[in-house]
Copies of this chain bind each other. A is one copy, B any other.
Amino acid sequence: MALIVKKFGGTSVADKDRIFNVANIIVEDYKKGNDVIAVVSAQGDTTDDLIAKAKEINPGNPSKRELDMLLTSGEQISVALLAMAIEKLDCPVISLLGWQAGFNTDSNHGIARIKKIKTDRMKAELAKRNIIIVAGFQGINKYDDLTTLGRGGSDTSAVAIAAALHADCCQIYTDVNGVYTTDPRKVKTAKKLDEITYDEMLELATLGAQVLNNRSVEMAKKYNVELEVLSSLEKSKGTIVRENTKMEKMLIRGVTNDKNVATVSVVGLKDLPGVAFKLFNKLAQYKINLDMILQSIGRGGTKDITFAVSRDQADDAIKAIESLKTLFEYESLHKDDKVSKVSIVGAGMESHPGVAAKMFEALYDADINIRMIASSEIKLSVLIDEENTEKAVQVVHDAFIS
């Protein structure tokens, strides 16, 4: 007998057949004697459809408070339908909206943070041996207004319930059967991971492996909630996400790539004190997130600074720097958005100095030029030409994972 929290995304409850598929997964665990709480998102494209309705009425910007009022109806429909399916399977069930399940949030409509979960109602329903279906993504603020947790919020809802009720595990059902060493649709030798740490999972998510919402992983780490990422369509073990994983031969957990990258170069910058400070301070004012800063060694009284930003921020970065033209001199500004970032992630790599060398060697052997390098404790990223992305992922993956 365990308390299991399960989360199902919108595609998992998109139509009648899928709803019954999910209902059967829930009922199977319930009938084994477990307590089951399932968190669900709005069906299929419901949220996007509702946003479209709002934009039709007020193309500018409807208030976030009313948008939350509108969007929360989406999960309301899916929890009711899923509960009806479980009733049809003759199991006791009750659906709860976010506020009924006790989700108290702050008042930042659209991106609300959970402040507290009042667990009384959920505990009472579990005591009655009811299966509970909770509307994900939503809560209520202190004024009794409905709020939403932002994109991917249902993952966060599930982890928060698991943390608040000290659940034995939190299973996140997706359309893939676990976390892979790289995208299995592109690299045939990609391997499913049995286990991964929270930090590794966070790096993978940040680097574009969109299996789990980052906030939910951070919360799971904070409250030490064991996650399992698994498929709602096939019956197999998924990937466990926890603090400490068993020693494994595998040093590198995954290889990812991110094409939402551009570089901006400031060439021929007069080499005076404070220039770099002024530059990066201005970029911060423009709320531009930098990555992989590269500064050339000064020669002839000038230097070059290149940095990476997300592609949609590249033009803003250019603007920010141009606004400094009166403050300091440079020869020219360049943008290059034909680049991409390939990264390896693994908690053990910091203590293995050979890792970087092995990655660079694999790229060199494949004739791929490395333009920039960045590293953190558990991650090593290189910037390369975009056209080489798939080849780079393949050769790096082959070098580390076999």
Which residues of A are at the interface with B, using a C-beta cutoff of 8 A?
16, 19-20, 50, 53-54, 56-58, 60, 62-63, 65-67, 69-70, 72-74, 76-77, 79-81, 83-85, 87-88, 94-95, 97, 100, 121, 144-146
Contacts and interface: CB of A to CB of B under 8 A. Distances in A.
Given A58-B88, A87-B58, A69 B80 contact: yes
Contacts of A81: 53-54, 57, 70
Contacts of A57: 16, 19-20, 81, 84-85, 88
Contacts of A66: 80, 83-84, 87, 95
A146 B135 CA distance: 14
B76 A62 contact: no
A100 B62 contact: no
Centre residue among A69, A79, A87 by max chain B CB count within 10 A: A69
A73 B84 CA distance: 15
Chain A binding surface, main DSSP class: helix
B72 A85 contact: no
B85 A58 contact: yes
A83 B69 contact: yes
Contacts of A73: 73-74, 76-77, 80
B95 A69 contact: yes
A56 B146 CA distance: 29
A151 B64 CA distance: 31
A252 to B, nearest CB: 45
A207 to B, nearest CB: 36
23 contacts: A54-B81, A57-B81, A57-B84, A57-B85, A58-B84, A58-B87, A58-B88, A63-B83, A63-B87, A66-B83, A66-B95, A67-B80, A69-B79, A69-B80, A69-B83, A69-B95, A70-B76, A70-B77, A70-B84, A73-B77, A73-B80, A76-B76, A100-B144
B121 A54 contact: no
